[in-house]
Amino acid sequence: MTTADHTRAAASAPTPSTSTTMKALVYHGPGKRAWEDEPRPAIQDPGDAVVRITTSTICGTDLHILKGDVPSVTDGRILGHEGIGVVEHVGTGVSGFHVGDKVIISCITACLKCDFCRRSMYSHCRHGGWVLGNTIDGTQAEYARIPHADGSLHPFPADGDEEAMVMLSDILPTGFECGVLNGQVKPGDTVAIVGAGPIGLAALLTAQFYSPAAIVMIDLDDKRLAVAKTFGATTLINSTDGRAADRVMALTEGAGVDVAIEAVGLPATFAICQAIVAAGGRLANVGVHGKPVELHLEKLWDRNIAITTRLVDTVTTPMLLKVVRSGKLQPSKLVTHRFAMHDIMKAYDTFGNGAQEGALKVILTNGGPR
């Protein structure tokens, strides 16, 4: 821990730090990232809050950004859209949060006022949506500015655990809303989830809110499948041999699954989902796709299915928070590695080699007692 970190820990008391800089993970074009000095964010608009980050994590999307796949992210951007922290400053228009409040930062920024927000589609907010670590600076830093704070922060519960709660920033609502809710998982259903990475596992955990009779987990990696087993998967299929769809159809006696959740983002995994969805079933896409896929409408036109897409809206975060607090969901299970924030370069290496490292979610902590 550096001297600066010590100082910052001290600053968790109301006494504000006088420093005007901070450390942050900055994107410098495809393949390039650095942990470097940046100016501390300040209030720009009446709805803003500045949050001192205590815990953050890395998302698969951050890896996509680093590959240069997300053109909206430009050189100089501080990455990160997940985090827990303490409110340091608030604008005059913020009514729900005060300096000193501990908060969960949502990956989606919501003005709450536009037509999309009124329809609970915060993902398409006309003044927000996914902007953190994308079109504005993010949370893999010591401080972050959160616009539309009233719509974009959630109170951290008194009895909460930061490692668990940071999963509410993105991964849990994403798996739940895009996979489970859109897939309309119901008691007694047979569900298949293609992809046992963090998002697929978040779908696996939250699918169990609705008591499906069977959850089939499909992945190329036996280690991840083994984790899925401990998370409640009832059947594991390693798809390396290209016969995953056949196996699912055999398992279901030719019927297919009620719900197929795509949690990878590739044509091949979407193809498995198409092949296994039962007549009357739902195919819920969660994966981020970079190319078109072939949709077999010549087979599906008369199958009474629904295919859904969704960027997480984070409208279910308050509900997920209740379920976590009730003990029915333990998201800290997803955490495999822990780093100090100033070791974030190493954390990215570990997360980037997720399969080899057995990494799921990697916790980043700014120093000091939590």
Interface size with a second copy, residues (CB under 8 A): 73
By beta-carbon proximity to a second copy, the closer residue of 138 and 281 is 281
- The two tokens of residue 41 are 């964010």
Q: Does residue number 213 form part of the binding site for a second copy (CB under 8 A)?
A: yes
* Residue 50 φ then ψ, to 5°: -105, 130
Helix (H, G, I), strand (E, B) or coil at 192: strand
In order of 37, 88, 108, 277, the CA distances from 307 in angstroms are 45, 43, 23, 10
Strand partners, 253: none
By beta-carbon proximity to a second copy, the closer residue of 4 and 255 is 255
**How far is residue 212's CA from residue 215's CA, in Å, rounded to a whole number?**
7
- Interacting positions 216-235 with a second copy (CB under 8 A): 234
- Interacting positions 46-105 with a second copy (CB under 8 A): 46-47, 92-93, 95-96
Q: Does residue number 295 form part of the binding site for a second copy (CB under 8 A)?
A: yes
Q: Does residue number 333 form part of the binding site for a second copy (CB under 8 A)?
A: no
CB 106 within 8 A of CB 3: no
Contact window for a second copy (CB under 8 A) among 132-140, 160-168, 284-292, 344-352: 284-292
Q: Does residue number 151 form part of the binding site for a second copy (CB under 8 A)?
A: yes
What 8-state DSSP symbol labels residue 132? B
What 8-state DSSP symbol labels residue 175? I
Among the listed residues 252, 288, 338, 340, the single contact to a second copy using CB under 8 A: 288
- Interacting positions 192-211 with a second copy (CB under 8 A): 208-211
Among the listed residues 73, 165, 311, 344, the single contact to a second copy using CB under 8 A: 311
* Nearest 10 degrees: Cα torsion 173, 336, 366, 132: -30
Among the listed residues 156, 270, 339, 348, the single contact to a second copy using CB under 8 A: 270
CB 357 within 8 A of CB 186: no
In whole angstroms, the minimum distance from the beta carbon of 326 to a second copy comes to 4
Among the listed residues 59, 87, 104, 121, the single contact to a second copy using CB under 8 A: 121
**How far is residue 134's CA from residue 187's CA, in Å, rounded to a whole number?**
38
By beta-carbon proximity to a second copy, the closer residue of 126 and 243 is 126
**How far is residue 199's CA from residue 347's CA, in Å, rounded to a whole number?**
18
